[in-house]
Amino acid sequence: MAQGKTPMNSLSVMTQIVLPNDTNNLNNLFGGQLLSWMDRCCAIAAHRHCKETVVTSTINNVAFKNPIPQGSIVTIEAKVSRAFSSSMEVIADVFLESTGPGEPRVKANEGIFTFVAVDGLGRPVKIPSISPETDLEKERYAAALRRRQLALIIAGKMDPTDATELKALFYPSASAEQ
C-alpha cells in the first residue's frame, strides 16, 4: 500500500456558475444544490487519496455562512484532511470568485464529510495514511480525530468513555493525571 500521501495529492477543484434553476426563493444558491456539488467534489478527493470506490458515510458539518447570489461563480476545493482505517475526513472550502479586478476571492462556506472506501460488495477496505504539510492541514488533521470521536458517539458507535481526544479537550487536568 502506498504511504506518505499528502492532502494536496487528493485536491479536487470544481467550478460552477449559479443559474436560476440552482436558486431558492431569495435568488440565492439553494443549499441542497451546494451540498450536492460539495459531495461530488469531496468524493473525487477521497477517491484520489485511496484509489478505491468511495461512499459518503456522514456529512459531519456544513456551515452555510454566507448566501451565494444567482450569477456567482463558485469554486469548491476539497482535500482529505485525515485518513483512518477505511474512512477519511474530507473538507470542502467554498469560494466566491472576485467580482472586480484586484479583489480577492471570498470564502463563503465550508463542509466536512466522511467517506468510506469499499470493495465491490460494499465492504470497507483499508486505505493509505496521510501526512499533512501546511499549518492549516496540520490543524485540520488534529481536529479530525476529535470530530470522528464526536460523530461516532452521536451515531452510537463509540462509548464516550473511550473518546480520549474529547476527554483531553473538556477535562485537560483529568487526562494529564492519567
Sheet holding 12-17, edge to edge: 12-17, 73-83, 87-96, 106-118, 53-63
Q: Does residue 124 belong to the site contacting ligand COA (CB under 6 A)?
A: yes
Among 33, 81, 114, 149, binds ligand COA (CB under 6 A): 114
Instruction: HSE, CB side, 13 Å, CA atoms: give it for residue 134.
Output: 8
Positive or negative: CA dihedral 97, 99, 101, 103: negative
Spell out the residues 6+ positions from residue 31 whose beta carbon is closer than 8 angstroms to its own. 24, 62, 64
Number of residues counted as binding ligand COA (CB under 6 A): 18
What kind and span of H or E run contains 178? none
Q: How far is the CB of 58 from ligand COA (least distance, A)?
A: 4
Q: How far is the CB of 49 from ligand COA (least distance, A)?
A: 12
Q: Does residue 38 belong to the site contacting ligand COA (CB under 6 A)?
A: no
Among 8, 13, 17, 55, binds ligand COA (CB under 6 A): 55
Indicate the residue among 64 and 84 with the shorter CB distance to ligand COA. Answer: 84
Q: Which of residues 65-104 bind ligand COA (CB under 6 A)?
A: 84-87
Instruction: HSE, CB side, 13 Å, CA atoms: give it for residue 55.
Output: 9
Largest CA distance in the chain: 58
Among 18, 116, 144, 166, binds ligand COA (CB under 6 A): 116
Q: Does residue 49 belong to the site contacting ligand COA (CB under 6 A)?
A: no
Q: Contact residues for ligand COA (CB under 6 A)?
A: 55-58, 84-87, 114, 116, 118, 122, 124, 148, 151-152, 155, 157
